[in-house]
Structure 1
Amino acid sequence: MLMRLCNPVIIGIFLILLASILVCGCTQQPVAPVGTPTPTATPTPEPTAGLPNPASVYCEQVGGTLEIMKNPDGSEYGMCNFPNGTSCEEWALFRGEGCQPAPTAPPATETMAGMPNPASVYCEQVGGTLEIMKNPDGSEYGMCNFPKGTSCEEWALYRGEGCKA
């Protein structure tokens, strides 16, 4: 007797489950008509602090023009160029590390090709003597020699890369 009751109950439950599955599977999903663009999520830009580089701001405040330069390794640094022809690495200028615009220098009248090498000029300004050296490949570089017997590659000195006068 239990067997006859179980069979109709089990069959009924099975039919209800089957009907539920069929009804859920047959509901219509909204579809955009052909040719209608589907909305896409627009990427949210990463938040930025919105603070300007203080060394760059200072360069402009003291009358310079910022120029972004690249090192051979791809890293970048800013040079602050002044109307009188002097240039300073922007952070060295900002920190007051002896890189000051020369307000008494005459205005630049020569073309860019006639401008002196700012690293060579700086070497002499800090008391060094410039010596031009040659690499094995024939290219040249400047060494700044100081009275104390120390020397430094001129651009490393100019950029303030740990080389002291």
Structure 2
Amino acid sequence: MEDLLKKHFLDYFAVRDDVDVTAERLGKEHAPHLQCEKGCDLCCMDFSILPIEFYAILEELKSNKFDKTKIQSNAPNNKDSCIFLKDHACTIYKSRPLICRTHGLPLLFANDDGEWELSACELNFTQFNFEKFSVSNTYPQDKFNSRLFLLNRKFISEFGKGKDFGEFDLLPLKELVEKL
């Protein structure tokens, strides 16, 4: 059972590695327009994530002996801020969720009507012609979200029995602190 759980986490980490490669490529390509740097934390919000990601991050934080006391004593003033934000920096940066790994980049996704939409941080790309965005220079959010969803579905089918979540449920990131 433990080996199967590790396999699920390794599959998640493989997706995360692919996201990082794509994000790094796009970050280099769009470097002149990205304003993101340490101290910019407007995107650091109280997100909820799929169970596979939640439990993989939890396991990673436990393995790295993450010290949760610095978090509990430093809860953000804004209830919408991420609990892992301290002094305008992410305390779980190496383990942060996929959504956090793509902030600042131009995101391409299908909206509820099935039409393609482009999203970009309002602080970035202020001097950029949006007509120049293409499939090759935007982050394919749906591609990675689909991979993550399929991993989550398998994870839930094998480990979700008796848990309080299903394949469409999201778990608040801040609940990681309670489980550490």
Q: Same fold (TM over 0.5)?
A: no
- Which has the greater radius of gyration? 1
Give the TM-score range, shorter chain: under 0.3
Which structure dedicates a bigger proportion of its chain to helix? 2
Name which structure has the greater RCO, CA cutoff 8 Å, separation 6+.
2
